[in-house]
Chains A and B, each alone.
Chain A
Amino acid sequence: MKKLIGIAAAGAMLVALAGCANGAGEASGPKPLDELVVGFSQVGSESGWRTANTKDIQAAFEDAGIELKFSDAQQKQENQIKAIRSYIQQQVDVIAFSPVVETGWDAVLNEAKAAGIPVVLTDRAVDSKDDSLYESFLGSDFVVEGEKAGAWAVAEFADATEPVEIIQLEGTTGAAPAIDRAEGFAEAIAENPNLQVVASQTGDFTRAGGKQVTEALLKSNPGVDLIFAHNDDMGLGAIEAIEAAGLVPGVDVKILTIDAVKDGMQALADGKINYIVECSPLLGKQLVDIVKQINDGETPEKRIITEEGEFNQEQAIEALPDRQY
């Protein structure tokens, strides 16, 4: 019975909310930037990458003079749903969030839609059949990252006459970045049949995992030429394992990673990693642009890919002093 009342109350509130939005929202043209309010719900603060992501978004909105209401979901979907509901109640102009998980968003996104508040996804996608629930998805394309890494490998070993043995250190099994990066890499290296992935194991995106897997695989594949790690941390672990085996990382065994966090860039600058494809958390400026577009009544692109670079050893030395994360 209690439950029923709860549902009824929620329903009533929804109707009321929708009414409000329809009354106030429709007529207004572009607001001045200092009157705009954006609600942002972050996943959590689980890594240096995520912290940099948060700081960049906060800084970008401050620079643009747009008010940002920020909340940290601490890895819990229910916290995020609560945050989004409270933004709907406060009638913010745009809601942005990085979904903790892919599914289970239809209800709350429909509420936002009914209230006339546009939603922007950052960094991670939602798995919903109805893509009218959000305005735009801003984030990295992991397949493209894998392709960029593969393209470097193809160019690096273009003159190779013998087969090039590659060990792949995968991310957490089943995680979107791990699946997509492996896919992009495999596609890109297919153009040169000399490039062969001789072993591929998961290092769970951690240094310890990368080290342990590399130790074992170096022994069963002593002729390995290149290690492709799905993130910097596993690459850093691989460096330790290669050194312990009496080899020189970056020379005897080349290392190619994705992410470009500070520790990874340091290793690249030191010559222990050969190439890093960036997966940038710095998407604040692009998010501000999307918010401005929506405010001006324009329709932003449905899928916007984060601006990302690639680094070789010289570029790393140059970029390192300004690296924020």
Chain B
Amino acid sequence: MSALFARVVAHRLFWPVVMLLVLFLINLIAFPGFFTVTIRDGHLFGSLIDILRNGAPTLIIAIGMTLVIATRGIDLSVGAVCAISGAVACSIILGSSEPGSLSTVAVAVAVALLIALVLGVWNGFLVAVVGVQPIIATLILMTAGRGIAMLITEGQILTVNSPPFKFLGSGFWLGVPIAVLIAAVVFAVAALVTRRTALGMFIESVGINPEASRQAGVRARGLLVVVYTFSAFCAAIAGLILTANTAAADANNTGLFIELDAILAVVIGGTSLAGGRYSLVGTLVGALVIQTLVTTVYTVGIPPIATMVFKAAVVTAVCLLQSPTTAEALRGFRERLAVRAGKGIAAS
């Protein structure tokens, strides 16, 4: 029994999951109806549904980010790509004669995604071909991208009145929010493609040792371009959801700082920033922790001035609990306790 317990504790997702449960518990105490999910107007309604729906964009971006980080890279440009894709889609819808028609929205979404693919290839080109460090290469688009989005929207917030577009952000299918379904599909595709084929292993090998993997015949260059392109693609999907959520493209604020949330979700999920092994399930838990944290702030009523400190404390706790040094210290502590209790080290 205790051996099983030790194995569970040692699992890298143990502490993030514990943190998620603790946050749920805090919410439940502050607001007893927290877990209640009802059906209202034919769709699911409740705090948990909100967490899933509002967390979906962060999760989608974090999935792309996980793969980038696994190659020992980082993509800071995702927030800017969000803003660009939203701006492109909204300006196309606004410029068309039939903003409410399905075909207009389909064209707008397709063009936004295509542009994101180009931006992703640009990032990948800088990193893989030119050899710019990822943090610098993507910083270029991070700063320039918002400017591009501003140019597209001409500095205005573009409000669109288009039911099919709005459906992307706040619609439901079989009672489940569309945003959640999209996130589920992206997650499933990423998991299947990288885990059911050798692609995931290649990504990890490039992250651990690019030179060795090149000599072993892994085409690192092409792989990097694909990974950065996928990241930008994810960012564009998230940007469309965020924009559709309020039916307005706000070049200044759409996806602002979302790159940091996504990186945090990846790190909380146990993927190392040093590249190599990654865990998509971990990223999922990480994204949920971040979104639950936001909701907790609202339900518990933490004053806005203290919000940042509260979030920092939670994140610090998760990271500390997860770090190998802490794990080592904890194990040593437990063993000493066990010895002192005269039971020997049977537990291990």
Binding site for B on A (CB under 8 A): 45-48, 50-51, 170, 173-174, 199-202, 204, 206-209, 211-213, 215-217, 219-220, 233, 236-237, 240, 244-246, 263
Question: B246: which of A208, A213, A245 is its contact (CB, 8 Å)?
Answer: A208
Taken together as a complex, chains A and B put the C-alpha atoms of A204 and B304 apart, in Å, by 10
Q: Known contacts A51-B156, A202-B307, A219-B31; decide if A207 and B298 are in contact (CB<8 Å).
A: no
Question: B298: which of A48, A216, A236, A246 is its contact (CB, 8 Å)?
Answer: A216
Q: How far is the CB of B258 from chain A (nearest CB, A)?
A: 11
Question: B41: which of A51, A212, A246 is its contact (CB, 8 Å)?
Answer: A246
Judge if B54 is at the interface, Cβ distance under 8 Å. Answer: yes
Q: How far is the CB of B103 from chain A (nearest CB, A)?
A: 25
Interface segment among B45-53, B72-80, B118-126: the answer is B45-53
Taken together as a complex, chains A and B put the C-alpha atoms of A51 and B251 apart, in Å, by 15
Judge if B30 is at the interface, Cβ distance under 8 Å. Answer: yes
Residues of B close to A212: CB separation below 8 A: 50, 54, 294, 298
Q: Known contacts A206-B253, A208-B246, A211-B245; decide if A220 and B31 are in contact (CB<8 Å).
A: yes
Q: How far is the CB of A80 from chain B (nearest CB, A)?
A: 18
Q: How far is the CB of A10 from chain B (nearest CB, A)?
A: 31
Q: How far is the CB of B36 from chain A (nearest CB, A)?
A: 9
Residues 248-262 of B at the A interface (beta carbon under 8 Å):
248, 250, 252-254
Residues of A close to B252: CB separation below 8 A: 46-47
Closest-by-CB residue of B relative to A233 is: B157
Could you list 24 examples of A-B contacts with CB < 8 Å? A47-B156, A48-B155, A50-B155, A173-B304, A206-B253, A207-B246, A207-B250, A208-B246, A208-B253, A213-B298, A216-B47, A216-B50, A219-B31, A219-B33, A219-B46, A219-B47, A220-B33, A220-B299, A220-B301, A236-B246, A245-B40, A245-B45, A246-B41, A246-B45
Taken together as a complex, chains A and B put the C-alpha atoms of A206 and B256 apart, in Å, by 11
Question: A201: which of B30, B46, B157, B298 is its contact (CB, 8 Å)?
Answer: B298
Binding site for A on B (CB under 8 A): 30-31, 33, 40-41, 45-47, 50, 54, 155-157, 159, 170, 242, 245-248, 250, 252-254, 294-295, 297-299, 301, 303-305, 307
Closest-by-CB residue of A relative to B246 is: A207
Taken together as a complex, chains A and B put the C-alpha atoms of A60 and B82 apart, in Å, by 38
Taken together as a complex, chains A and B put the C-alpha atoms of A215 and B304 apart, in Å, by 17
Residues of B close to A174: CB separation below 8 A: 305
Q: How far is the CB of B45 from chain A (nearest CB, A)?
A: 7
Whether A220 pairs with B157 at a CB distance below 8 angstroms is: no
Residues of A close to B247: CB separation below 8 A: 240
Whether B248 pairs with A207 at a CB distance below 8 angstroms is: yes
